[in-house]
Amino acid sequence: MARPDFLDLPVREPKPRRAGITHVLDRGMPLAELSGVLGVCAEHVDIWKLGWGTAYLDPQVAERVAILREHEVAACVGGTLLEVAWVQGAADRLLDWAADTGFPCVEVSNGTQRLPILEKRRLIERAAARFTVLAEVGAKEADAPVHAYTWAEEAAGDLEAGASCVVAEGRESGTVGLYSADGAVRAELVDALLRATRHRVVFEAPRKDQQAWFIRRLGPEVNLGNVVPAEVLGLEALRLGLRADTIELSCGDGEVRAAAGT
C-alpha cells in the first residue's frame, strides 16, 4: 500500500543523504529479525554499525552485510574492534578482512584512549583509501575529561585526514561524552563540533529525550547515531513532528515549518 501524503510535514532529503543521517547500533540482532526490521524502516536508515567487536564474532557477518546492502544501508565495522586490532598490530589485517567481507564503512575511534592521535590520523588515511570512514571523537569512560576545544580540534583533524564525517561519543547509554551522567546534552560541546566540522558530525543519541533535543535545536536534518533498531520509526516520527516532543514541526506556525524545510 502506498504511503499516505495528506499531511504537511518537514521535507527529508532522500537517500543517499548528506544530512539527516540515521545511524543504527546493532548489538547482534538475529538475521531473521534484521530482515524484518529493514523491511519496515530501511528507507529511514543510512548507516548500520555492528557494535563493538560483534562483527568479528558473528558467523553470519557476510550475510548480514549483504542483507544491509540489498536494502541500501551501509554496514559499518565498530571502532572498538579496530582499536583492538591496532593494539595487536593487526589493523591492516582487519581492514583486509572488512573489505573481503563487503563492509563499505569502518569506524576509526579512540574511545579506549589507547590510540595516539597521530596514529589515529594515519589509520584514517589508510582506511579512507578503501572505505567510507567515520571518525569517532570522545572517550567511553565517564570520568574522562571533556573539553570542547579538544574534541573540536580532533574532529577537524580527522576530517582533514580523510574521514567522511565525525561521530560524537555518547555510548549506547547516553550518559558519557556528549552527555552528563544524567543524560543532559553538553550544548557547548555540540556547538564546538558543529563549527569544527561544518555540520559533518553524527551525534550519538540513543535516548528519545536526547533525539528530541537535537531535533528541536538543529532541525529534522540533524545526524543522529546509536539509534536502537526497533526505534528507527519512532525517531523518524520525531523528525517529522509526529510525536508530542517535536509536534511544533508539524503543527507550529508557518515560520516553524519553514525552518524545518517545508
227-236 tens-digit pLDDT: 999 999 999 9
pLDDT, tens digit (0-9, with 9 covering 90-100), for 99-109: 999 999 999 99
C-alpha to C-alpha distance for 117 and 234, rounded to whole angstroms: 37
Give the C-alpha distances (Å, rounded to integers) separating 51 from 37, 209, 210, 248.
17, 22, 20, 34
Give the C-alpha distances (Å, rounded to integers) separating 214 from 55, 93, 117, 144.
29, 38, 28, 23
pLDDT, tens digit (0-9, with 9 covering 90-100), for 22-61: 999 999 999 999 999 999 999 999 999 999 999 999 999 9
pLDDT at 254: 44
Average pLDDT over residues 196-224: 97
pLDDT at 258: 46
pLDDT at 256: 46
Rounded to the nearest integer, the mean pLDDT of the chain is 94
pLDDT at 253: 59
Query: Which residues, including other chains, have CB under 8 Å from residue 81's CB and lie 6 or more apart?
Result: 52, 53, 55, 56, 94
Q: How confident is the model at residue 260 (pLDDT cuts 50, 70, 90)?
A: low
Domain locations in the chain as residue ranges: 22-259
pLDDT at 257: 47
CATH of domain 22-259: 3.20.20.70
pLDDT at 3: 84
Average pLDDT over residues 156-172: 96
